[in-house]
Amino acid sequence: MLTKEKAAKVQSYESPYGEDMEMFRRTVRTFFEREVEPRAKEFEANGADYAIWRKAGEYGILGTTIPEEYGGAGADRMAIMVAAEELGYAPSGATVGSFIGTDICTNFLVDHGTEEQKKQWFPCILSGEVVQAMALTEPESGSDATSIRTTAVREGDHYVINGMKHFISNGAKANLIYAIVKTDPPAKGRGMSVIIVPGGTPGLTQRRMITQGYKGGDTGEIYFDNVRVPVTNLVGEENRAMSMFIPTISLDRMQIVARSIGAAQRAFELTLEHCRNRRIFGQRLVEFQNTQFELAKIETEVNVGRAYLDSLVRKMRAGTFTDADSSMAKIWLTELEFRTLDACVQLWGGSGWMDENPISRMFTAARVQRIFAGATELMKSLLGRRYLAEGAL
């Protein structure tokens, strides 16, 4: 049987992240094993509560990129990828959904927040008292992000925000919302800004959406009805949201693909164990040549995928990582995760399709990875634009 120790060893083998990050990984894994897995059923019924965020704060796994002078660890942004890989590796990650993945918002505040904003929000992010959400997507604007309609109009020392957002991770519970709005609508992509809207602001309403997977997660709608916030809630420069966002979007894609590798690895381990235990036609499932071939294919693909991700982590370290890298990774690794989960479910038979089986929930969770943070087709079209311009490669 593949023990947890063995699995951990396989995962940290020649890690490109470095020893500090591997220590951090162990903390995140312990958090999921001790605090999230045992409560997964409860979360499925009622959604993940605020208490689990505070618990994550106690474990020190939130706001890792916050500089030391503000009480954070000042970790490299790759800590967000390590945490995401563990979110994928934990079967309960498929229940709680994006959850701590919204920590990419923290990095945005680290890069662009004012001193006042940092002092106000960093302590609450670290402790898990606030839940963050990055609210961009709207019903008429998903892949085509610059066509958003939510506006913020300046009135004296305030912005007045009107519009709505949907499909937002932590959308119903978030009490630190980064609303991406139009401050200069005719300027399209060059007229977008990021404005902080704290939970409880009058005119703000939030609703949890029913989703195919992420049963204990929080994918929500956010409505802004004449929401007034001080102009000091603007993050970074007015009208520069899209250019400020580029590194955040890229990091978001990388945390998603790290999650893909974590999930694919765990799916392989769970399936191997199942094939060793399950008996059909008088023998163990693992004794069929077809099973061995399938497992060999899965293991090979996961290892190739990990080697690819490791190479990108090294590029990040060396400062040679590009947006195109994040697009290619998003295509390849999320598709790899889906292929892996599909093949694993097949080896589980009917039980792989039962909701009570973690592999079933991991399969459903794998499906959305190819859609959010830029669908596979959008990634291809972004890559494609480079082929049109001479000298762009």
Ligand X SMILES: Cc1cc2nc3c(=O)[nH]c(=O)nc-3n(C[C@H](O)[C@H](O)[C@H](O)COP(=O)(O)OP(=O)(O)OC[C@H]3O[C@@H](n4cnc5c(N)ncnc54)[C@H](O)[C@@H]3O)c2cc1C
Residues at the site binding ligand X, with contacts judged by CB under 6 A: 98, 133-137, 142-143, 167-169, 219, 368, 371-373, 375, 377-378, 381
Distance separating alpha carbons of residues 257 and 335, to the nearest angstrom: 10
CA distance 211 to 337: 20
DSSP state of 161: E
CB of 189 to ligand X, least distance (A): 15
Residue type, 127: S
Q: Pick between residue 136 and residue 263 the one whose CB is nearest to ligand X.
A: 136
- Min. distance of Cβ 97 from ligand X in angstroms? 6
Q: Tell me whether residue 139 is exposed, middle or buried, using C-beta atoms within 10 angstroms of its C-beta: 0 to 12, 13 to 18, 19 or more.
A: exposed
- Report in angstroms how near the CB of residue 98 gets to ligand X at its nearest: 6
Nearest approach in angstroms of CB 50 to ligand X is 18
Q: Nearer to ligand X by C-beta: 219 or 291?
A: 219
Comparing CB distances to ligand X, the nearer of 10 and 371 is 371
Name which of 21 and 242 has its Cβ closer to ligand X: 242
146/303 with CB nearer ligand X = 146
Q: How far is the CB of 157 from ligand X (least distance, A)?
A: 27
Phi, psi of 52 (to 5 degrees): -70, -30
Task: Report the SS3 class of residue 30.
Answer: helix
317 is written with which tokens? Answer: 């370290």
CB of 257 to ligand X, least distance (A): 15
Q: Which is nearer to ligand X, 329 or 378 (CB)?
A: 378
The least CB distance from residue 171 to ligand X, in Å, is 7
Nearest partner of 131 among 33, 208, 41, judged by Cα: 208
**Closest Cα to residue 332, out of 308, 356, 357, 311?**
308
Give whichever of 268 and 363 is closer to ligand X, judged by the CB atom.
363
CB of 266 to ligand X, least distance (A): 20
Q: Which is nearer to ligand X, 33 or 335 (CB)?
A: 335
**Cα angle value 38/41/44 (rounded, 5°):** 130
The alpha-carbon radius of gyration of the chain (Å, integer) is: 21
Q: Which residue is closest to ligand X by CB? A: 142
* Strand partners for 180: 194
Closer residue to ligand X in complex, CB, 167/332 = 167
Q: In whole angstroms, how close is the CB of 13 to ligand X at the nearest point? A: 31
Q: Which is nearer to ligand X, 168 or 345 (CB)?
A: 168
Cβ pair 305, 333 in contact under 8 A: yes
Q: How far apart are CA 376 and CA 382, in angstroms?
A: 10
Q: In angstroms, what is the minimal distance from the CB of 103 to ligand X? A: 12
Please tell me the distance from the alpha carbon of residue 384 to that of residue 276, in angstroms, as a whole number: 44
Q: What whole-number distance in Å separates Cα of residue 390 and Cα of residue 370?
A: 30
Contact 159, 203 (CB under 8 A): no
Residue recorded with tokens 């083998």: 13
Q: What's the residue count for the chain?
A: 393
φ, ψ dihedrals at 138, nearest 5°: -130, 165
